[in-house]
């Protein structure tokens, strides 16, 4: 009797192990087949990533360069009002340059708005960014946007993950369009090939100025060389192009219209950002 009980117990143990192994083997293909990019925790707000340049000078010169503060503020206001959270990344991480010449009177008071200034002082490094969390990317312009961002491989991978992996929206304004000209899809084709694109045209630059001689490439010329259809208008009025999930704007005045077009393309966020009051 004792021998029979021992044999039965061993048999049950072997049977349970075999069944457990069989379940694990059957489940593996299902998990692989349904794998999807990681998403934010349930209930966390939908997010948009601002890509901002770190360079403090033009190229190899000592000429000071800066982000366009207003292009941050005006886009941030639209995304915030729509319920999207905004994170910011730069090639070097940390504080990005904001020169007085790039802070217009319409946004000067926002230099005291911690909701915007804190992220600008503590931008993420590319290594800190989980691209699967974002529904859109917004490339900020400014005189420094020509340097460090367009050729940065980690920033390129982030943008392409959002666009191809997440099915998200890519957007850029003014000199920020420089950031998208080198992006290649998984097929190897340039992302902008065959697409309508806007950005700050070289015809509007001060071509005799020292800063212009530092530019590594020209936006309009490069867009056309990559197979894109470059659109720009005379004057300083807002001008944007929307081509599928690519939204681009020509100039400073286009920052808010670009952001509104991104929101229209995305639709309302599944999880809204809790609103924080602006400082008095």
Q: Is 157 helix (H, G, I), strand (E, B) or coil?
A: helix
139 pLDDT more than 60: yes
Half-sphere exposure of 163 (CA within 13 A, CB side): 22
Of 228, 42, 70, 238, which is closest to residue 142 (Cα–Cα)? 70
Q: What percent of the chain has pLDDT over 90?
A: 79
Domain boundaries, the chain: 47-266
The domain made up of 47-266 has a fold known as Rossmann fold (3.40.50)
Instruction: Give CA–CA dist 17/118, Å, rounded.
Output: 55
pLDDT interval class at 45 (50, 70, 90): confident
Average pLDDT over residues 109-122: 97
Torsion of CA 48, 116, 101, 262, to 10 degrees: 20
Spatial contact of 126 and 155, defined as CB atoms under 8 Å apart = yes
- Measured CA distances, 126 to 45, 52, 115, 156, 240 (Å): 21, 11, 21, 10, 27
- Please give the pLDDT value at position 140: 98
Mean per-residue pLDDT for 250-262?
98
Give residue 270's pLDDT.
Answer: 84
Helix (H, G, I), strand (E, B) or coil at 126: helix
189-216 confidence digits (pLDDT tens): 999 999 999 999 999 999 999 999 999 9
> Which contiguous run of DSSP H or E holds residue 197?
strand 196-198
Cα distances from 39 to residues 36, 142, 240, in angstroms, run: 8, 31, 30
Helix (H, G, I), strand (E, B) or coil at 50: strand
| Mean pLDDT for the stretch of residues 79-83 | 96
β-bridge mates for residue 171, sequence order: 138, 247
Residue 214: per-residue pLDDT:
98
Confidence band for 280, pLDDT divided at 50, 70 and 90:
low
The most confident of the ranges 23-27, 42-46, 58-62 is: 58-62
Could you tell me the pLDDT band of residue 272, with boundaries at 50, 70 and 90?
confident
10 Å CB burial of residue 255 (0-12, 13-18, 19+) is: buried
pTM comes to: 0.83
The larger pLDDT score, comparing residue 165 to residue 41, is at 165
Tokens in use for 125?
Answer: 């490094």
Q: Say yes or no to pLDDT of 36 above 80.
A: no
Q: Specify the residue for token string 């084709």.
A: 189
134, 79 Cβ separation under 8 angstroms: no
What average pLDDT does the segment 91-105 reach? 95
Averaged pLDDT for residues 150-159: 98
- Average of per-residue pLDDT values in the chain: 87
- C-alpha 255/C-alpha 249 separation (Å) is 7
Query: pLDDT tens digit string along 14-25?
Result: 333 333 333 332
* The predicted structure's pLDDT at residue 25: 29
The percent of residues in the chain predicted with pLDDT above 70, rounded, is: 82
Of 279 and 74, the structure prediction assigns the larger pLDDT to: 74
Q: Do 52 and 91 form a contact (C-beta atoms < 8 A)?
A: no
Report d(CA 58, CA 152) in Å as an integer. Answer: 16
Q: What is the mean pLDDT of residues 140-156?
A: 98
Q: Tokens standing for 239?
A: 């001008």
Q: What is the pLDDT of residue 83?
A: 95
Answer for the pair 136, 262: CB distance below 8 angstroms, yes or no. Answer: yes
Residues 6 or more apart from 55 whose CB is under 8 A from it? 65, 97, 144, 147, 148
User: In this structure, what token pair is assigned to residue 200?
Assistant: 């700050």
Higher pLDDT: 132 or 28? It is 132
Residue 37 or residue 141, greater confidence: 141
Q: What is the DSSP letter of 230?
A: E
pLDDT band at 79 (very low <50, low <70, confident <90, very high): very high
Specify the pLDDT at position 275.
65
> Which pLDDT score, from 0 to 100, does residue 178 have?
98
């Amino acid at each position: 009797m004792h021998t029979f009980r021992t044999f039965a117990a061993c048999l049950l143990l072997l049977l349970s192990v075999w069944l457990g192994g069989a379940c694990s083997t059957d489940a593996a293909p299902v998990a692989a087949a349904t794998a999807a990019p990681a998403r934010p925790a349930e209930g966390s707000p939908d997010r948009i990533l601002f890509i901002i340049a770190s360079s403090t000078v033009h190229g190899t010169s000592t000429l000071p360069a800066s982000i366009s503060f207003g292009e941050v503020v005006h886009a941030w206001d639209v995304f915030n009002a729509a319920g999207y959270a905004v994170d910011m990344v730069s090639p070097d991480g940390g504080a990005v340059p904001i020169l007085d010449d790039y802070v217009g009177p319409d946004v000067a008071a926002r230099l005291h708005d911690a909701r915007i200034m804190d992220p600008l002082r503590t931008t993420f490094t590319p290594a800190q960014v989980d691209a699967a969390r974002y529904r859109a990317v917004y490339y900020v312009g400014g005189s420094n946007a020509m340097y460090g961002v367009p050729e940065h491989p980690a920033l390129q991978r982030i943008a392409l993950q959002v666009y191809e992996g997440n099915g998200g929206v890519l957007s850029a304004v003014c000199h920020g369009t420089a950031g998208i000209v080198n992006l290649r899809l998984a097929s190897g084709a340039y992302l902008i090939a065959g697409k309508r694109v806007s950005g700050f045209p070289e015809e509007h630059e001060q071509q005799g100025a020292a800063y212009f001689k530092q530019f590594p490439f020209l936006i309009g010329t490069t867009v056309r060389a990559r197979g894109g259809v470059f659109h720009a208008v005379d004057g300083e009025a807002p001008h944007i192009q929307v081509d599928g999930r690519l939204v681009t704007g020509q100039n400073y005045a286009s920052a808010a219209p670009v952001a509104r077009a991104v929101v229209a393309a995305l639709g309302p966020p599944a999880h809204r950002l809790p609103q924080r009051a602006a400082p008095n």
